[in-house]
Amino acid sequence: MGGFFMQKIRHNKFVAMLLTLVMALSLLSVTAFAEDGAVASIDGEDQTYPSLQAAVNAAGEGATIRLLGDFTGNGVVVPAGKDITIDFGGYTYDIDVTVGSTGTETNGMQLLQGSKVTLTNGTITSQTAKILIQNYSELTLDNIILDGTQSADCSYTASNNCGSMTVKGNTEILANEGNVAFDLWYGMSNSYAEEGISVTFDESFTGKVDGKIEYGSQRPDESGWEEKTELNINAGNFDIEITQSSANALENANITVGGGAFTAPVDTKFIDASKTAASLTSGENTTYYIGNAESIAQTLADAAKEGDSITVQQGNASFAGIVAGVEVKNEGEGQVVVDDVSVEKGQSTTTTGSVGTKPEPDPESKPESDRDEEEEFGKVEVGGTDSDSNNTDKDNPQTGDDNGLELAIAAMLISAAGAATAFLFKQRKA
């Protein structure tokens, strides 16, 4: 009898060990296996590199570096003359050791003048960097999240002292409250001053910027420096404050806003004169829209609810199909029409919902795919909040890697489960 119980105990211990092994293997991430040296690859080749910096150093012109998992690692310096794309594969790269010029090693990534860099498809963050991205290069941000919210010491999520930064797709540039999402700082050196700085949010941008935008010059007395310090906003969602980092920098600032949705009003001197600017107030929340007259009118007509108010600050707007009980004001010089009724400057009208109303859709029919707010501006709730944008768990496609790590894990799990099954079968047969 004692032998039976001892055998039973040994049997249970063995099964427990196997189950523990299976659970441990299932919880291991690709990162854990990649510690042997597979952090990144280049152009889909089998060869892997033990750090992102090593991959950058080895990459040829036009190469695409691919991150192979979620990693915590050193910051990255992209030297002059590099033309590379870093594809983060839907993963997160968390920088714990900063880089930079001698005595100023405070950057998460330092992109040097004369390089061309595209950052795409993932998240970059840090709990140690004071400047997450220090840019002197020709930089493109495409479907990338720059998360500067993980440390109160991250004063700048992206700092532009030279070169250019073009923002596309569902990119997010996030800063802690009171900190700078990005800046344009002119004239740190003669070569930087000669090249100048430009930041552009192109028409494809549907993402979000949250934080201050700083505009200024280290050489404020230099005539014409503003011409070389250019900011263009054409689309996207902005919870921002535009500030000056040098005296009187905003007086003649080279800033043009031609599109987007904003949680605060934009100074009219920065708004493209050919565009319409209007706001939608619902309760205590107001969102300010800038764009083409037709798209603005459609966006506001779709979003407005009874009791809301629409104010046109600039340009023309023709509204139709707005629900009853919405006040429409004209505070600009443009022509404002509500259900075929003109609203003169300084006047307002309240919609009745009786003219030009949109027919109720047939529930059996599939609605047409027309240009809505999401296409023109991204998803914006009144007041500028965006529950989707705030979710950092993006559905970016995880391209993964070609080294078979996931297959190896699966094979180990299957092998362990098979061993456990065979043992149990043997015991039962005995």
SS3 213: strand
Distances from the Cα of 255 to the Cα of 129, 171, 328, angstroms: 28, 20, 29
Residue range 57-73, pLDDT digits in tens: 999 999 999 999 999 99
- pLDDT, average across residues 327-352: 96
- Say if residue 15's pLDDT is above 70: no
Model confidence at 84: pLDDT above 80: yes
Are 377 and 233 in contact by the 8 Å Cβ rule? The answer is no
Token reading at 282:
């619902």
**Amino acid, single-letter form, for residue 223:** S
Instruction: With beta carbons less than 8 A apart as the criterion, state whether 92 and 125 touch.
Output: yes
- pLDDT of residue 398 exceeding 60, the answer is no
Residue type, 173: I
Q: What are the tens digits of pLDDT across the range 307-334?
A: 999 999 999 999 999 999 999 999 999 9
- Among residues 318, 385, 306, the alpha carbon closest in space to that of 351 is found at 306
Centroid of chain to Cα 64: 20
User: Whole-prediction pTM value?
Assistant: 0.77
Average per-residue pLDDT for the chain? 84
The residues facing 159 across adjacent strands are 134, 183
Q: What are the residue ranges spanned by the domains of the chain?
A: 39-263+394-402, 266-359+372-383
Q: What's the pLDDT at 353?
A: 86
Instruction: Give the closest residue to 204 by CA, choosing from 257, 119, 141.
Output: 141
Q: How far apart are CA 135 and CA 93, in angstroms?
A: 18
At 409, is the pLDDT very low, low, confident or very high (cuts 50, 70, 90)?
low
- Residues 6 or more apart in contact with residue 345 via CB below 8 angstroms: 330, 331, 332, 333
Asked if 133 contacts 173 with a C-beta cutoff of 8 angstroms, the reply is: no
308: left (phi over 0), alpha (psi -120 to 50) or beta: beta
* Backbone torsions φ then ψ of 295, nearest 5 degrees: -70, -40
What confidence tens digit (pLDDT) does each residue in 255-312 have?
A: 999 999 999 999 999 999 999 999 999 999 999 999 999 999 999 999 999 999 999 9
Question: Are 25 and 407 contacting, i.e. CB atoms less than 8 angstroms apart?
Answer: no
Tokens standing for residue 263:
């949680």
Per-residue model confidence (pLDDT) at position 323: 96
Cα dihedral 201, 212, 153, 207 sign:
negative
